[in-house]
Structure 1
Amino acid sequence: MAKHIHTLPINFTGGIVSPGYLLELLKTAAAAQATQVRFGLRQQLLIDIPDKNLAAFKSSCAAQQLRIADSPNIMSSYAAAGIFIQDSWLSEGIYKDVFNLFDYTPALKINICDSRQTFVPLFTGHINWISSASVHYWHLYIRLPDSQQLYAWPELIYTNNIAAVSKSVEQHINAGTTPETIYTLVKKENNYITRPLDKEPDLPAFHLPYYEGFNKHENSYWLGIYRRDEDFPLAFLKEVCAICLETRIGQLYATPWKSLIIKNIDPAHRKLWDYVLGKYGINVRHAANELNWQVEDNCEDGLILKRHVIRYFDTADVRTYGLCFSVRVNKPASLFGTVVIRKQENKHGSKLKYMQRYDILHTAGYNANSAQLVIYRESVSKEHLGPYIVALCKTFYEQHSEVNVLQHYVKEQQSLATAATPVRRIHQCPDCFTVYDDTVGDAGQQVAAGTLFQDLPASYCCSVCAAPLSTFNEIPEGVLQPDTTTAF
């Protein structure tokens, strides 16, 4: 990007912003000659301001209390609540309560996520809070800066203590303390409510929900907007805010996929959204294999690589469901992804693009939440990235098809059906195969219906051949001898 342009981040805590606040921000950016804005990986807004207007923009922001960020945004799965997560104790109100507890500006990355969703990355922060099965209690995972190793806090922590514990943990991380020692010190210095850690969180297998377009939810719609080049026209977003204000939509949601979600759209107002999408030519139906990418913020080279591989995907008609792709061009970052394209360091100092090489890696077991990377191919040219990544996708599906899921399902259903049907035991004469049926009894021998076999008198005998009671055999009803006769 040209040096005379300054990219300024505006944090939206948890990824939520009111349309009124966003509209004021967009007007201020427009006055500074900005024409496009972008959303970042941590649900923040990125604005490019020309150098000549930078001072005026900062002054206007300060006057209107529009804070330009100098620290990472608090990231959350708030955007997924209600549309991708159902029946969770972690409601939108609880998210807001947690955000309001932060009386300081975190200098480290903090993630606050529902354990039941796969829309927002769980472990890309330095301080990662993940909801537990116990209402209002959280798992905590610490990841030191420039490290991929996670430290699991040995106990669950109560909702109201998240901010205070985060602040204390951050102070000790910044002091260079080891995670084990951080736990000891935080435990000693803070009085917070805990619960024993019974088990690790049961995290679902990764699948990225389709987060674009108009989607029905209960009695309303939600709209997801994604931009291939990441740029949102400023004039378009201003009209989005105007519609929200006019139709009383109180919040917009930025996502870690650099997209925007608008919830609670009344069906009667859909025509307004169709109008503004059409006016600015906004496409809201991209291919799924384009939506599951994580590219570093402000990285045009990463976007070029992404587009290059996607074109190959389209040609080869490749399935990518269950996978997520991460492009790492600059300094290694904690990006989310099962497949990683990593630019190699330029050891020879060549500025020729065709000399650039990349490594292809995947997470251990193709687990999107794993920090362990496995090398698949090294020193791959840009032209060969597509074929190799397609081959890796095929390997992923082959490994997941080694177990015959259909055969296993059929056997499981048969087993359940067998277990659900109790086997009836009956009693049969060994000589003539006559069956005593306790639901009928034996009127000829004055035995009333409903009399169990064990309640028959000792004098009872077969009603056909007079075989004594003691000779009758108890067998499952399904294995009756042929030519049976019921005693009556």
Structure 2
Amino acid sequence: MRDYYHVKINLPGGIASPGFLKEVLLAAREANVHKVRFGARQQLLMTVHYEEMRFLEKNLKNASVRYEINTDRNPNIVSSYCGEDVFRTGQWLLANEYHSVLDCFDYQPALKVNISDSNQSFTPFFTGNLNFISSPEPHFWYLYVRPKQSNVVFRWRELVYTNEIGKVANAVETCLLEEEFVDEETLFASVNARIQYISQPATNEVELPSFSLPYYEGFNRYKSRTWLGLYRRDELFSVDFLLDVCALCMKTKIGEICITPWKSLIIKGIEDQYRGDWSSILGKHNINVRHAANELAWQTEDHHEEGSVLKKELIQYFDKHDTRTFGLCFGIQTRPKSEVFGSILIKKRPLLRIGQLAVFSLYDIYYTENFNPNSRRLVAFEKGLYRMQLAVQLEKLCRRFSNQRSKLGMHLAFTADEELQQQPEQGKVLHQCPDCFTVYDPQYGDEQQNIAPDTPFESLPESYCCGVCGSGKEEMVEVVLELS
């Protein structure tokens, strides 16, 4: 008999209402579950002792909550909604579009489905079997299909209308699972023999942005409000803390909590008057924010501690040696059939087995083509490494990436002419936030807060605050820019 069971609850699109999440957490607490985690596919995960399982199942069934135990027959639908509005997004893809897509799924997918904005790089594009990506045509989506147990991705020949995505996904899944998959043409013909749907020809490949992982933790300003990103070093969130989060969301009329593929949470729409309440919750539960960016760029397997322990070791080495990892993300795979997202992948493999037990293991390091984590092509860097050799070899690969980025002109610096044009004049007086060092330059104003260019600092409203961390106008200090 198992001592513990792994329970998975899907949160479609990585969206959870505070009321629903509260019901689940109360059921978990009654089953003596004190901590939960969120998975790479934006689902809720918990580990439950076998003696408590009957209580948890009873409570979940009473609350009409669907769940799976030790299986993943119905993978969660992943979406980029968690980054909508707070990170760069497309012109037409807004919150209502995501909800329209999710509402049209009237079945439980057996294949992995990804719903992605083509203008973001916060969530993966091709980790699903059916990958819908927004196109330049409003309300139409690319579909990229990756058959199960395959690493080949091909583009559907048609763009799919928003409200038809659920129907098309169901038909493609049925054909892939019930019929023998032969080729793209056969699959396309088979689906079109089953259903009719609104579409238009897909004449070009999707144009994806270069990868850049935005900083997704802490208090951050957007428009006239604040969003809060919550990351836990051990990937565990206490049930009591999350219940307090749900209660404050309901009190302040925040209708959604977003789960990210980085096993963290994003809470949008925090009004200024309630920011102190959120800080109080963090203090009450001793929740730290503003971890180093290189620590946030890792993905490990769900329900598996080994990857998390190795991640901690490697981050400590990077910190000690001040290793630059900007532009990269890392995945650790310790089990053969698991899937993680990353531009650099660390894969563990057994060297010697006795039955099902791996007696001795080695590690291989791969990187994706052009270090783009959305590429399905892996390039071997070093194979057959001992664990103690991993950190040094990873540092070498990070340096190779930085050198390659510089040589190919992929760095983000301006050209010399552009830089001269955009440099403020010497001796100019600006105002700087003392907490995050963001500068207010009257020449450019602050577009996000509707401050027009050429607005002097003294003319800013008293309610003006730092656009990054929210520090008040009165806290900003004068600085004189001097150019050498």
Q: TM-score, normalised by structure 1?
A: 0.81
1:178 is aligned to 182
> Is 1:300 aligned to residue 305 of structure 2?
yes
Q: Which amino acid aligns with 2:14?
A: G
Deviations 1:279-323 (A, max 9, x none): 111111111111111111011111111111111100111111111
**Shift, 1:331, TM fit:** 2.1
Q: Aligned in 2, Cα 1:333/1:354: closer, same or farther, shift over 3 Å?
A: closer
> Is 1:342 aligned to residue 347 of structure 2?
yes
1:144 is aligned to 147
Q: Aligned in 2, Cα 1:407/1:186: closer, same or farther, shift over 3 Å?
A: closer
* Aligned ranges 1:66-465 → 2 under 5 Å: 66-69=65-68, 70-86=73-89, 88-175=91-178, 176-180=180-184, 181-349=186-354, 355-403=360-408, 409-410=415-416
1:58 is aligned to 57
In structure 1, how many angstroms separate the alpha carbons of the residues matched to 2:333 and 2:238? 26
Deviations 1:370-409 (A, max 9, x none): 1110100011111110010010000001011114669982
**Shift, 1:413, TM fit:** 8.8
Q: Which amino acid aligns with 1:361?
A: Y
Note the residue ranges of structure 2 that are not aligned, 5 or more in a row: 422-484
Deviations 1:329-379 (A, max 9, x none): 112333211100000133344999994210000011112111110100011
Q: Aligned in 2, Cα 1:147/1:283: closer, same or farther, shift over 3 Å?
A: same
In structure 1, how many angstroms separate the alpha carbons of the residues matched to 2:340 and 2:254? 32
Q: Point out the structure with max Rg over C-alpha.
A: 1
Q: Which amino acid aligns with 2:182?
A: T
Deviation larger for 113-122 or 59-68: 59-68
In structure 2, how many angstroms separate the alpha carbons of the residues matched to 1:52 and 1:355? 34
Note the residue ranges of structure 1 that are not aligned, 5 or more in a row: 416-488
Question: Are the aligned partners of 2:89 and 2:117 in contact in 1 as well (CA < 8 Å)?
Answer: no
1:36 is aligned to 35
Query: SS at the partner of 1:356?
Result: strand
Q: Aligned in 2, Cα 1:145/1:347: closer, same or farther, shift over 3 Å?
A: farther
Question: Are the aligned partners of 2:352 and 2:359 in contact in 1 as well (CA < 8 Å)?
Answer: no
Deviations 1:58-81 (A, max 9, x none): 111111112114511011001111
In structure 2, how many angstroms separate the alpha carbons of the residues matched to 1:358 and 1:406? 33
In structure 2, how many angstroms separate the alpha carbons of the residues matched to 1:155 and 1:244? 40
Question: Are the aligned partners of 1:253 and 1:262 in contact in 2 as well (CA < 8 Å)?
Answer: yes
Question: Are the aligned partners of 1:326 and 1:341 in contact in 2 as well (CA < 8 Å)?
Answer: yes
In structure 1, how many angstroms separate the alpha carbons of the residues matched to 2:32 and 2:419? 64
Q: Aligned in 2, Cα 1:179/1:158: closer, same or farther, shift over 3 Å?
A: farther
In structure 1, how many angstroms separate the alpha carbons of the residues matched to 2:413 and 2:307? 42
Query: SS at the partner of 1:344?
Result: strand
In structure 2, how many angstroms separate the alpha carbons of the residues matched to 1:393 and 1:289? 12
**Shift, 1:411, TM fit:** 6.3
In structure 1, how many angstroms separate the alpha carbons of the residues matched to 2:334 and 2:141? 34
**Shift, 1:5, TM fit:** 1.4
**Shift, 1:11, TM fit:** 0.7
**Count of matched residue positions in the alignment of Structure 1 and Structure 2:** 414
Question: Are the aligned partners of 2:369 and 2:379 in contact in 1 as well (CA < 8 Å)?
Answer: yes
Percent of aligned pairs sharing the same letter:
42
In structure 1, how many angstroms separate the alpha carbons of the residues matched to 2:48 and 2:357? 30
Q: Which amino acid aligns with 2:41?
A: R
Question: Are the aligned partners of 1:229 and 1:303 in contact in 2 as well (CA < 8 Å)?
Answer: yes
Query: SS at the partner of 1:393?
Result: helix
Question: Are the aligned partners of 1:354 and 1:382 in contact in 2 as well (CA < 8 Å)?
Answer: no
> Is 1:47 aligned to residue 51 of structure 2?
no
Question: Are the aligned partners of 2:353 and 2:359 in contact in 1 as well (CA < 8 Å)?
Answer: no
RMSD: 2.1
2:3 is aligned to 4
2:15 is aligned to 16
In structure 1, how many angstroms separate the alpha carbons of the residues matched to 2:294 and 2:156? 36
1:440 is aligned to none
